[in-house]
């Protein structure tokens, strides 16, 4: 087997599925987000609520991973995690993040940048209680998240032991180290693929108390 990767320079697609014009987008970026997000849901894409979340630590070293969007309002965009995870540690030191939604079937992506805050304990608890029971148990044992564990079997054993210990409990309490964050946007970018790499990119920036819309070079 060759250990050389194939030549990637000729691998490309021509994007043909849509256009993005200033005259046709909503003046409020959240409403434009909802319009595109609902179209992704209607198209029955695979997990259109999955997003790449980029954070950086106090030294500026970036980390990116895929998480699930669990709330979207004008107040911001919510996701849930272990506060002691890498993302939680990053956000404690540097409370800014960027989200990326990429829907290749629609030849679209959305970037959302903003400040990040923890959501209230009551909101986190309400969401936790909606999760499947096995997911609730997993939140208890997956700590410290991203910490080293000797084997998969040890992780599975922890899960089974706690499942048995909690068998008589009809409702589990939310772990103190687990909860939600909200990205409060200051900038959005909507990207629509176009032929010849002349993509449409519309950027909303929060300036002087209003959203300002501008077109970006592809």
Bind-site residues for substrate: 12-15, 70, 127, 131, 135, 197-199
DSSP 142-177: S-STT---S-HHHHHHHHHHHHHHTTT-SSPPPPTT
Task: Give me the catalytic one of 115, 152, 182, 197.
Answer: 197
Q: How many residues does the chain have?
A: 218
Separation of alpha carbons 179 and 166, rounded Å? 21
Rounded to 5°, the CA angle 83-87-92 comes to 65
Active site residue 133: no
* Residues marked as catalytic: 197
């Amino acid at each position: 087997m060759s250990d050389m990767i194939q030549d990637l320079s000729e691998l490309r697609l021509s994007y043909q599925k849509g256009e993005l014009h200033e005259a046709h987008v909503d003046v409020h970026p959240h409403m434009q987000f909802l319009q595109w997000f609902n179209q992704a849901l209607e198209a029955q894409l695979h997990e259109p609520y999955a997003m790449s979340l980029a954070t950086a630590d106090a030294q500026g070293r970036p980390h990116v991973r895929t998480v699930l969007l669990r709330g979207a309002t004008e107040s911001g965009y919510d996701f849930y995690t272990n506060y002691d995870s890498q993302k939680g540690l990053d956000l404690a030191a540097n409370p800014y993040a960027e989200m990326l939604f990429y829907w290749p079937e629609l030849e679209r992506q959305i970037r959302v940048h903003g400040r990040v805050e923890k959501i209230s304990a009551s909101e986190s608890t309400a969401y936790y209680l909606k999760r499947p029971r096995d997911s609730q148990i997993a939140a208890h044992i997956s700590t410290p998240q991203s910490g080293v564990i000797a084997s998969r079997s040890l992780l599975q054993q922890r899960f089974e032991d706690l499942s048995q210990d909690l068998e008589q409990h009809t409702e589990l309490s939310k772990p103190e180290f687990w909860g939600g964050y909200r990205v409060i946007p200051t900038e959005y970018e909507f990207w629509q693929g176009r032929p010849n790499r002349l993509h449409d990119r519309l950027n909303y920036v929060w300036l002087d108390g209003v959203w300002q819309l501008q077109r970006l070079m592809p």
